Amino acid sequence: MEANPGKTLPPGPAHTDGSVSHPQCAGEEDWVDSRTVYVGHREPPPGTEAYIPQRYPDNRIVSSKYTFWNFIPKNLFEQFRRIANFYFLIIFLVQLIIDTPTSPVTSGLPLFFVIMVTAIKQGYEDWLRHKADNAMNQCPVHCVQHGRLVRKQSRKLRVGDIVLVKEDETFPCDLIFLSSSRADGTCHVTTASLDGESSHKTHYAVQDTKGFHSEEDIDSLHATIECEQPQPDLYKFVGRINVYNDQNDPVVRPLGSENLLLRGATLKNTEKIFGVAIYTGMETKMALNYQSKSQKRSAVEKSMNTFLIVYLCILISKALVNTVLKYVWQSTPFQDEPWYNRKTEAERQRNLLLRAFTDFLAFMVLFNYIIPVSMYVTVEMQKLLGSYFIAWDGEMLDEGLGEGPLVNTSDLNEELGQVEYVFTDKTGTLTENNMEFKECCVEGRVCVPHAVCNGQALPDASAMDMVDASPGASGREREELFFRALCLCHTIQVKDDDEVDGPQKPRDSGKRSAYISSSPDEVALVEGIQRFGFTYLRLKDNYMELLNRDSDVERFELLEVLSFDSVRRRMSVIVKSATGEIYLFCKGADSSIFPRVIEGKVDQIRSRVERNAVEGLRTLCVAYKRLVPEEYEGICKLLQAAKVALQDRDKKLAEAYEQIETDLVLLGATAVEDRLQEKAADTIEALQKAGIKVWVLTGDKMETAAATCYACKLFRRNTQLLEVTTKRLEEQSLHDVLFELSKTVLRCSTSLTRDNFSGLSADMQDYGLIIDGASLSLIMKPREDGSSSNYRELFLDICRNCSAVLCCRMAPLQKAQIVKLIKFSKERPITLAIGDGANDVSMILEAHVGIGVIGREGRQAARNSDYAIPKFKHLKKMLLVHGHFYYIRISELVQYFFYKNICFIFPQFLYQFFCGFSQQTLYDTAYLTLYNISFTSLPILLYSLMEQHVAMDTLKRDPALYRDIAKNALLRWRAFIYWTLLGLFDALVFFFGAYFMFENTTVTSNGQVFGNWTFGTLVFTVMVFTVTLKLALDTHYWTWINHFVIWGSLLFYVVFSLLWGGVVWPFLSYQRMYYVFIQMLSSGPAWLAIILLVTVSLLPDVLKKVLCRQLWPSAIERVQTSRFVSGPPLGSHPLASL
């Protein structure tokens, strides 16, 4: 880190921690330009370095999408990017420009209604985002200027400002920690809104500035900071500070992530701190980790747009065929000029191409109803009204929170029925983030605490004997050493207070105190050991104090802390007792402790550890060794040399730790439970049975996350774990690791059949993959030969063949990148992300469906999600029941709308062959307008809101039914073509059935024949009855509402037609429908035609249903058949179950 100002800083030794250099590409680890920050905007002394003022953004945060000036053009542009809206706009303009068979109002009004409603909704949502941004940008902060405090708005902060932050305040930007009110120059911080962890983390002030406690002192500071340019990795920071004292040469100190206070984090248990702003506004790590909120579209909407294009092609083909045939027919002179309607000379002289083009557009408008705007209005209404069923679901109400599920967007309801991958956070989502000490195994004896009285374990609570019921003197000494090790080997801070913010539990001792730690495990262990008579009191003046079983205070001098890291997976402390003995106490994962042990009851302890791990408990082993003074002096020199290194500091420290933590004596092991949320395991099991792959993405360390995965049944006892971790990559290259894993998993997939959805069949080896953030960075990093996708594809192949994947040590943006990687893989699966903290917002926004858990860690996830639920267990019903119903309903709605409109318009197309291609309408204008709005709209809307083709309890009991609708099964091309052909068949029956039945026959009692309006009305009547009864045949869930709407809509059509044709309406310029409907109904053959043609139209669909159900039944159809054979109907109270 010897870079000069303006040059580049290397990424530094901590670069293997899963760093991401910028939001676009994870793992790109090129050197980045440095920035120089002048603390307090003071220039460096003359002759030291050049003063180069640099421009940085202010501290304004912007999450809104629109401004006042660009809202109308930008919103209209986005809305008309939708194919349907653009199409209806073109049709409306055509109707305005040329003389068409129908009025422009029929297309214009519905279009503008949809555009206005959507614009108002999106404008309101963006106004709320503006409001939230303004509240954040205008909150007051305190800065030091000219030796005094100045209050200013947050948005006016600049890089280089010295900021004062008080207890429980949130840091307004990314700060370098200069000093604090604590004498040791530390502060405690919670980062729940950043990485989801509610535990306290300790940060350290710069060594040379931690003594500046007043505004005057801090204002006298003369320093510059060199650091890397902004990048989103929360766990990485590389920089240095040059402090100018009286002498010419500055004091140079390295800066790391422990000196950096991030925007969004909160100061806890520290009165105040001073810090200098280095990243502001949209350059802060929090802002860089937030994805922009883009509009999500469901798979059903994409299918609708595709079908729309197909029908648009059909429409153009129809108009083209009719236009060509019209001019072929007119090629014979005077063919289209009957004696009563001769053309004028001006009409004959018109340009042929212009006439043909005008006719083509007129045919387009005539057949335009094949793609009705009412379908999009109905879909919007169905989504909006249907979303209330989630909010009203009493089973998804959480009594503790007093809250139920929230629906933030109704556009993705049906997507809940198409999910193939679930990406879930761990802490606070799968678990309650509430650790509880369960047991410890000391020298082979298993100790289970049951009760505590004044800090002392009761006699019946001391132990459960396993190997040695009554330990001898050496056993008793080892046991006490074990408890002392747990009291001393940690980084816990103690605060004596009545109200404390950190992880705490009341202790039954004289005064109430709380333990504060970055790890909830440590708190649980120290509190658990109290039950055996050892109480950790405090760390004061570098001495750790504890209360032993005899109520005596023991003092140990803390000499060194060998801090925990995810590669070593252990931590150690070196302490000196009052008698002068020096101990090294070490605790860590069993895999990192056992190989270093030379003495102790290894076999008994190992068997207990393995048993606890299988039960999903978090286990730690404890060991120690005595150090002689000469040995300790050697350790001091080794550690000091590593600590002062500016280059590769982490690597040198790791090597020193490896040398020190050897030849240990095993004392025992502990087991801590991170309580799973209620029914989390049951939910994951149900999702896997439904064919959904579940991935856990967490910022936690590997062992912790893996234990949780076992507890929630994501990994099972027979699961073979595959690792792509930093530790393994130190031994093998990434290329070798990936190819080795690929061979392992693909060997099985070639020999056995693999289920595409569930991942693994029952008789296969079950694989689980564990990957950490640093390894993911390397996989995502473009290779030197430019083949950036090779490792990604290999990684994806491995993941596809694993039943579950655990990604640990993930930065928030890396979570989003994992989701994006799967989302854009070749299968293009539908993804769902669920989390409870602000660190999950990026992946929630990236996934097709984002779900926030309304938890303890703030509401950022719930606010930015598409849906919010109180507990993880509610995901089961949301997907398997609500998602299933939503998809079934809307897929029927879409297919039915296209079906009924091809039934509607194809007879109009056929009619042109019988009217000289004159653009004469087959149906009256009232029928054209009301067909989609009134006569056939309500039945399908009610169906799409209330249909339950299978009982709700059956869907919950049999998750495998979810697979029947996977991969957009009901909107595939095969189903679409069937519905289209069915519509064409029915249209042919309507038209030609009516045509041939009445071609040369007398149909009324007085010998009159039907005219063209009567013919059109007959075709229309048969059509309305057929499409309505077709929906009745598809309905499985009959209620009084369905009966009322279906039979009521048919009755409404009859009553309307009687009134429309039975009264002379004075406001109409024509009376062509007068008495037409009544005359038709007075004819016996007309009644026969209606009954016969409706029956013939419905027959093929009925036959197809019966044959398919008998010969090739789906899982859902088998359930339906068994229900009708053996069970009662679904129920008589539909709304209660919804």
Going by their DSSP bridges, the two strands 493-496 and 32-38 should be labelled as: unpaired
Cα–Cα dist 631/297, whole Å: 66
Which is catalytic among the residues 17, 195, 219, 425?
425
**DSSP classification of residue 1071:** -
Alpha helices (H) along 330-371 = 345-349, 352-366
d(CA 741, CA 729): 13
CB 364 within 8 A of CB 315: yes
Q: Pairing relation of β-strands 553-562 and 570-576?
A: antiparallel
Q: Alpha carbon of 675 to those of 446, 466, 501, 523: distances in Å?
A: 21, 26, 20, 15
Tell me whether residue 425 is one of the annotated catalytic residues. yes
Q: Does residue 618 contact residue 673 with C-beta atoms inside 8 Å?
A: yes
Ranges of beta strands (E only) in 983-1082 are none
- Which 3 state secondary structure label does DSSP give 176? strand
Among 780, 458, 435, 725, CA closest to 592: 725
DSSP state of 1135: H
Q: Which of 518, 422, 500, 495 is nearest to 192 (CA)?
A: 518
Q: Which residue has the tokens 């029915």?
A: 986
CA dist 1125 → 371, 813, 836, 1075, 1112 (Å): 40, 53, 45, 49, 18
- Do residues 976 and 892 lie in contact, with contact meaning Cβ atoms separated by under 8 Å? no
Largest CA distance in the chain: 128
Locus of tokens 């769902």: 832
By DSSP bridging, strand 431-442 and strand 767-772 are unpaired
Instruction: Kindly state the tokens that stand for 679.
Output: 């029914």
445-447/452-453 β-pairing: unpaired
Return the SS3 of 574.
strand
- In the chain, % helix, strand, coil (3-state, to 5) comes to 45, 20, 35
Cross-strand bridge partners of residue 242:
224, 252
Bridge partners, residue 553, by sequence: 547
Pairing, β 162-166 against β 272-279: antiparallel
Cα–Cα distance list, 558 to 342, 545, 570, 635, 975 (Å)? 112, 10, 18, 14, 73
Q: Which two tokens stand for residue 1025?
A: 């009855």
C-alpha span between 1127 and 1029 (Å, rounded): 25
Give the other-Cβ count within 10 Å of 796's Cβ.
17
> From CA 577, how far away is CA 396, in angstroms rounded?
56
Query: Is the CB of residue 875 less than 8 Å from the CB of residue 834?
Result: yes
Does residue 177 contact residue 275 with C-beta atoms inside 8 Å? yes
Question: Which residues, listed in sequence order, are joined to residue 365 by a DSSP beta bridge?
Answer: none
How far is residue 1032's CA from residue 660's CA, in Å, rounded to a whole number?
Answer: 79
| Alpha-carbon distance values, 1100 to 625, 1094, 1111, 1112 (Å) | 85, 11, 16, 17
In a 10 Å sphere around its CB, with 0-12 CB exposed, 13-18 middle and 19+ buried, how is residue 771 labelled? buried
**Which strand (E) or helix (H) includes residue 199?**
strand 197-204
Distances (CA, A) of 406 to 22, 112, 299, 391: 33, 29, 22, 6
**Active-site positions?**
425
